Homo-oligomer: A and B are copies of this chain.
């Protein structure tokens, strides 16, 4: 028998295949969310593209010894040093519950410092160390996979539209 399998006997599969058209679906021209296939969901395209980016970058990031969010944090701090956790969070679209552990790891690795702001002890200011800046420079020169298969103008428009999408989702979510 299997290891800790968990599968239980039950009725047979039934192999129902809801391919394209459900019987009463053709009344509207525009399909409702339920009638679309998975491949048609924009959310799923973005979700799976994000997974693909993570895998494509994995090899290069491993050479730096960083994960993707760690790398993003280094890049954001290189652009502006001495940011507070909140400020950095705004740029990365993350909050302290996610950011704090990441920053502590980077501090432990010697790439940045976390210091309470003397003027407001609630805030923690993050600054890159020499090692952190060296890491950023090193990351500049390594070519992460960028085989997008898109022409330059398509690439630029895609970038803009993804940003527009993101910002509008955030706006709509905030109500």
Residues of A within 8 A of B (CB): 2, 5-11, 13-19, 32-35, 37-53, 55-57, 68, 72, 75-76, 78-82, 91-94, 104, 107, 113-116, 121, 124-125, 127-128, 136-137, 139-141, 143-145, 147-150, 154-155, 157-159, 161-173
Contacts and interface: CB of A to CB of B under 8 A. Distances in A.
A118 B161 CA distance: 48
B172 A42 contact: no
Copies in the complex: 2
A31 B108 CA distance: 32
B49 A80 contact: no
Contact of A34 (B18, B139, B150): B139
A8 to B, nearest CB: 8
Given A104-B6, A170-B52, A161 B158 contact: yes
